[in-house]
Amino acid sequence: MKLVYLRIGILCIVLYVALTFYGSLTLLQEDEQLNYLLQNFSRLSMLVMALMGTGLLAFLFLLLSKQGKVDIIYVKDVGRHFNGNSSGLPEELSVEQQLSPDQMALSIPRKMIEEVILKNQYNKKQLLDKFLQSLCNHLEAAVGAIYITKIAEDAKMVEMVASYAYFGQDTRSSTYEFGQGLVGQVAKNGKPISLRNVPDGYIKVVSGLGDATPAYLLIFPVKNEEEEVLGVIEIAAFKEFNEQDHNLLKEVALLLAKEIETNEYYNLSL
């Protein structure tokens, strides 16, 4: 249909040019006296009206043909170049679509733990308790503890300052020097330790129905960007920790390191 409009517009232009040429030729051939113009006023008026009408039609049909082309360009532009991406969707939606399922699953608990830090930033002890509780819930851990690095008499050690479902035992210490035990070894080396088949009695889950030893243990260092160990996170579960669990713990450990470094948790005790 747009092609028809274009052809009619071109035809009107040709007709307009022909009428103009014919009118000019007629006036040149006739007497240029005023009397002749007055006698042929009606003929001249019709010629002028025909010229105006033809020009108007040509303009309208050309406008219609151009409008059709603009519509096509607009549709293509929306479909291919909206916000600079090829999907035609808003930019924030396309970014979400680029995330893998594993990344999406990791971002949700991370955001929730970030909210815990923001909501409890004026109460250090409560922040650590809520932080550990949220982390254990996401990892389906049965027991958890957070240790903070402290210095006493020129000796570096880590002391437990928060716990989750932790059952204290006489044989278990809440303070470890760097290199002492599994927790102290992680604090010294700055590398995580993952254990299967946790030794019986190392850590217990106690309830009204009895007690049991979790099968899997993960001890993770809390380090700042300069690789300085500011603390240790220890969690135990009855299920094996997968790669996604390790990645989550790595990210939230960095969040905790920034919090410890910024707000000086070194004087905090359990």
pLDDT in tens, 157-182: 999 999 998 776 554 678 999 999 99
At residue 237, φ and ψ (nearest 5 deg) are: -150, 165
| pTM across the whole model | 0.61
- Domain count along the chain: 2
Task: Compute the average pLDDT of residues 91-115.
Answer: 66
Task: Compute the average pLDDT of residues 255-268.
Answer: 84
Task: Out of 60, 94, 128, pick the residue that ends a domain.
Answer: 94
Strands, sheet with 143-152, edge to edge from the N-terminal-most edge strand = 175-177, 155-164, 143-152, 229-237, 216-223, 193-196
SS3 120: coil
In terms of Cβ atoms closer than 10 Å to its own Cβ (0-12, 13-18, 19+), residue 233 is buried
Task: Out of 94, 113, 129, pick the residue that ends a domain.
Answer: 94
Assigned domain for 65 exists: yes
| CATH number of the domain bearing residue 119 | 3.30.450.40
Domain that holds residue 59: 2-94
Say if residue 236's pLDDT is above 50: yes
Assigned domain for 71 exists: yes
Q: Within this chain, do residues 8 and 71 fall inside the same structural domain, yes or no?
A: yes
CA distance 193 to 134: 21
Assigned domain for 268 exists: no
Q: Within this chain, do residues 71 and 128 fall inside the same structural domain, yes or no?
A: no
For residue range 193-229, list pLDDT tens digits in order. Answer: 999 988 877 887 877 767 888 999 999 999 998 999 9
Residue-level pLDDT at 6: 61
Q: Which of 164, 169, 131 is nearest to 265 (CA)?
A: 131
Confidence band for 51, pLDDT divided at 50, 70 and 90: low
Say if residue 94's pLDDT is above 60: no
Say if residue 2's pLDDT is above 70: no
Q: What angle do CA 264, 267, 268 make, to 5 degrees?
A: 95
For residue range 73-83, list pLDDT tens digits in order. Answer: 444 443 433 34
Q: Within this chain, do residues 79 and 176 fall inside the same structural domain, yes or no?
A: no
